[in-house]
Amino acid sequence: MSLRRAVLQIIKKQGVATTVSIRHGSSSTESNILKSVYRDIPMTNETLCDFVWQNLDRWPDKTATVCGITGRGFTYAQTHRMTMSFAASLRTKLKLREGDNVAVILPNVPEYPCVVLGALQAGCVVSPMNPLYTPEELRHQLKLIDCKAVVTSQVTYANVSESLKQINFKIPIILVDNSVPEGTIKFAEFAEDLSVDTECLKTVKMTADDVACIPFSSGTSGFPKGVELTHRSAVAANKMISMPEVVAVVETTATQQSAFTAVIPFFHIFGFNVQMLNQLYLGCKIVTLPFFKPEVYIKTIATYKTDALFLVPPIAVFLGKHPMVTPEHLSPVRCIISGAAPLAKEDAEAVLRKSKNLNFRQGYGLTETSSCISIGDNKDTNHASVGHVMSRGEVKIADFDTQKALGPGEEGEIWFRGPNVMKGYYKNEEATKQDFTEDGWYKTGDIGKYDERKYLYVTDRLKELIKVKGFQVAPAELETIVRLHPKVADCAVLGVPDGKTGEVPKAFFVPYPGQEVKPEEVMEFVNGKVSSFKQLKHAQLVQEIPKNAAGKILKRVLKDKYC
């Protein structure tokens, strides 16, 4: 028996407190490593396409995707056929080959899975991008990946065209619309071409270790970075969230099919893996919404009897606090999972007061971890936590100074290690080295802790800490308190320079429609609940709190505009 295997067998018996790091032929142990409470998922050599389609023959006639606004959609059999035709067309008509990068710049539409899986089936690498981006923002991403083709829609075509012009890229543009501009390609001409020879796909060479997807990190500071996710890492993430202990929806049978409303953008890793690919694997009905509009969203839940919701915190707050949402609206819902950013316990409980018959959980992950680090099980009631570490994963709470693993209740930076972690940042070796340790830990940049029951808590972003006289103040803590004000709909807190203390907290807030709130009222409401060094020194009324598509506050934008 090898030394490594012997050590691993010993460590496996010791549970949460211990893991192993073996480097350069030597071995060492480290205490206080948080391990998963879930059983190990099987590791295979599947590609994403193999994973998604493995159960196709069980539900070919079930609806795969349907637009929540127009009712237009496709069955699983239709989706698979279109996927294969699109893939073959990319190979034969555009001459795309293994490793070519294809940008997908679309809102949530029924064709989205066909585009993604078709490009992957052709051996290409998919790079989903935000359809609301400006030409300047798209230019950076399209140039970085050396894009070979773009799939988009009329809504974004002008920006895409302008961005390609700026970088002098003369590449094919495919649109999903029925009517397309001259010089572009209609998606249906590729996806619905029954004469295209799909036999060419048998020559495609893909392995589980090939890069499948290059999404972009959220970009709350600086330019977004391309994240290389392999087929293996993406499949591992999907297997983690498909486990019976954590899965949010019931796998489709001959007599039952779960439905859910997909409003989180598919270009975001939460929407891409958890909301789209995983639900296709389970045979669910994906009701797509291209945007979030309150009236449309709650109507869609009722119309399609959505039994599972995947949310970002702003939508969860809307469901819990807005009078428009009644218990009747939430009556079909059996499970809600909130992710992409931490949600206050009070906001989760506000939703549960309207519907006591559902399971509400938080999950935690990043683009760099294929969306998965932790989640509560499907009977969990700890609404302050982001759950337990996913199967085969490990978390280290690293001390800010020594990087030593901290114990229960101690706050530090969250480091993660698992099979779902990215390969690295695309064409950015420096950033990759900066965010990885030599023994494979990915440094998330988030601050957190865990408790004696192995629950993980995310308390803030490392780079957003406010330093007041040497004390560290977490903006998320103050934001939670501000949102408890009955007249405040949304808020953000960040540090602003101060001559005496270095920095002081400042709150930006948005009142509910028809409500009047003075800055002094917000400050008084908060400052009576926190220590002196955490107290707000400034507050400002604003029209909106800028956020990215995943619901994360863009504090860089607030600073640029108001500070």
Give the tens place of pLDDT for each residue, 471-482.
778 888 899 899
Tens-digit pLDDT profile for residues 423-443: 999 999 999 999 999 999 999
* pLDDT of res. 356: 79
Q: What is the mean pLDDT of residues 134-153?
A: 94
What percent of the chain clears pLDDT 90, i.e. is strictly above it? 74
Q: Quick check: 504 pLDDT over 50?
A: yes
Q: Quick check: 15 pLDDT over 50?
A: no
- Dihedral sign for Cα 165, 166, 171, 177, please: negative
* pLDDT of res. 7: 32
Tens-digit pLDDT profile for residues 229-283: 999 999 999 999 999 999 988 899 989 999 989 999 999 999 999 999 999 999 9
Q: Quick check: 220 pLDDT over 60?
A: no
Mean pLDDT score across all residues of the chain: 90
Burial of 366 (0-12, 13-18, 19+ CB in 10 A): buried
- Rounded CA gap, 560 and 529, in Å? 29
Residues spanned by CATH 3.30.300.30 within the chain?
A: 465-562
* pLDDT of res. 22: 29
Contact call for residues 536 and 505 (beta carbons, < 8 A) = yes
**Structure confidence at residue 222 as a pLDDT band (50, 70, 90):** low
Tens-digit pLDDT profile for residues 351-389: 999 987 889 999 999 999 999 999 999 889 999 999 999
Lowest mean pLDDT across 43-47, 117-121, 303-307, 459-463: 459-463
Contact call for residues 131 and 124 (beta carbons, < 8 A) = no
Contact call for residues 273 and 237 (beta carbons, < 8 A) = yes
User: How many other β-carbons are positioned within 10 Å of the β-carbon of residue 381?
Assistant: 11
Q: Quick check: 214 pLDDT over 60?
A: yes
DSSP per-residue string spanning 347-395:
HHHHHHTT-TTSEEEEEE--GGGTT-SEE--TT---TTS--EEPTT-EE
Tens-digit pLDDT profile for residues 407-418: 999 999 999 999
Check whether domain 465-562 has CATH 1.10.287.130, yes or no: no
**Structure confidence at residue 16 as a pLDDT band (50, 70, 90):** very low
Tens-digit pLDDT profile for residues 170-203: 999 999 999 999 999 999 999 999 899 999 999 9
Lowest mean pLDDT across 63-72, 83-92, 121-130, 341-350: 341-350
**Structure confidence at residue 17 as a pLDDT band (50, 70, 90):** very low
Tens-digit pLDDT profile for residues 514-545: 999 999 999 999 998 888 889 999 999 999 99
Q: Quick check: 341 pLDDT over 80?
A: no
* pLDDT of res. 218: 61
> What's 447-486 look like in SS3?
EEEECCCCCEEEEEEHHHCEEECCEEECHHHHHHHHHCCC
